[in-house]
Structure 1
Amino acid sequence: MTTNSPAKALADNVWFTRKAWINAEERLLKNDFHTQLLMVVYAAYTSCLSVVLLKYEPSPSDKNLIDTGLAVLSIILLALSLYLNTKSFRDRAARFKTGYHDLHLIERGLESLALQPPSPQVDAEFTALSVQYDKALREVETHAELDDIHARITAGAGLTSRRVTRTDKCRYYWWRIWRFGSLILAYGAPAAGVLCYVFK
């Protein structure tokens, strides 16, 4: 191929983008799962607390606190519902999935061209694949930078370019810790509040 260097650059861009989009789809589906599960959990907390209060009348000093807690749970449920609807995690994940399948076809096309001797037809096919890549980028939202870092960390020592830096690793693992801690707090906060009330 006369476009050997540009072809290598395009192949690298397609590979990195496809891996990042795979991670973006996975991240969005996890966000969708946890948001929906949190709605179920908070609805269960609210329902159980309401049933308990029907049978066991709280003392006047505790009634305001319990009413406030129920109001907060209801507001969180409403916020989660609105958040889920506005973010459209599942639809966005589906677009990323379609996108990385399109990129896989482009990858296969580039691999096929690499085996052919240079010719005007090969150059024309390369240009067509480059146009397809640009089109795929326009049709799918930009992935998060952490999706790209995740892809490069997963690739490990196999990378020949854009190797992972120490800063990249720190950012990625800090995000993982923050996400894990936030989920524990979100799932456990209502139960912790009930336990604090019971054993105060």
Structure 2
Amino acid sequence: MSRDKIKNLQDQIWATRVSRINAETRLIKKESFFQGINIYYSCFTIIVSIFSLINKDDKLSLLTLLMTISLLIAILYLNGQKFLNNAKEYKKNYTELHKLQLQLEHVSDGDVQSIEEIEDSYCKLLNNSENHISYDYYCTVYQSNDYYKIGRWKNIRFKYYWGSVWRFMIKFMIIILPFLLLVVSEVA
């Protein structure tokens, strides 16, 4: 087996491992963001409820009721997503992938059996774990050194930046949504 084939396998395992690390990080950040949003929306709803009671505003009371119901549904849904549990699974997987990387460093060119065992273990790890999303891989390429980035970055640059922009826009819209609802309820 050639050194190039071993290097390709090393790169493949490395990219999968780092993509799983990025997936874990993404899920932990997502969990934190949604926990913060739950608190933010709850506080916002309480403040709007107090204003609706003080001002005896029926439109505002209706908005508060709709926000409370929506908040309850969102909290139940997001808790069902189990972001932290999935992040832990990714961590287990990328730890095992790292072990394969270390094993592969100690394999010589002619040791076909060891290489095949590592390839088999790699396939089993892929099969036993939920796959990361494409954006996690795009982040891997973006963060990688020039050796790995060359030839890959050109093809995914737009997808990486587009993924970053729409994720930011969604978070921004989630943050300003209560204010937009408040403005719309006052205008209506």
TM-score range, shorter chain: 0.7 to 0.9
Amino acid at match of 1:191: F
Q: What residue number does 1:180 align with?
A: 168
Q: 1:35–1:80: 8 Å Cα contact kept in structure 2?
A: no
Distance 2:44 2:131 in 1: 37
Which of 99, 108, 131 is residue 120 of structure 2 equivalent to? 131
Question: What is the alpha-carbon distance in structure 2 between the residues aligned to residue 15 and residue 161 of structure 1?
Answer: 16
Structure 2: 5+ residue runs without aligned partners? Answer: none
Q: CA RMSD in A?
A: 2.4
2:92 maps to amino acid: T
When structure 1 is superposed on structure 2, of 150-159 and 49-58 the one drifting more is 49-58
Q: TM-score, normalised by structure 2?
A: 0.87
1:89 deviates by 0.7
- Which of residues 108, 131, 136 in structure 2 aligns to 1:142? 131
8 Å contact from structure 2 (residues 139, 160) kept in 1: yes
Percent of residue pairs bearing the same amino acid type: 25
8 Å CA contact 1:149, 1:172 repeated in 2: yes
Is it true that 1:108 corresponds to 2:108 in the alignment?
Answer: no
Query: If you compute each CA radius of gyration, which structure gives the higher value, 1 or 2?
Result: 1
**Cα distance change on mapping 1:74 and 1:99 into 2, 3 Å:** same
Decide whether the 8 Å contact of 2:24 with 2:90 is kept in 1. yes
Give the distance between the partners of 2:176 and 2:109, measured in 1 at CA.
62
Name the CA distance, whole Å, in 1 between partners of 2:70 and 2:106.
53
Deviations 1:155-177 (A, max 9, x none): 152217652125x1112112211
Structure 1 unpaired stretches of 5+: none
TM-score for both structures, normalised by structure 1: 0.82
> Counterparts of 1:80 and 1:15 in 2: how far apart (Å)?
36
Q: Which amino acid aligns with 2:15?
A: F
Paired residues of 1:25 and 1:94 also in contact (CA < 8 A): yes
Distance of 1:138 and 1:3 partners within structure 2: 26
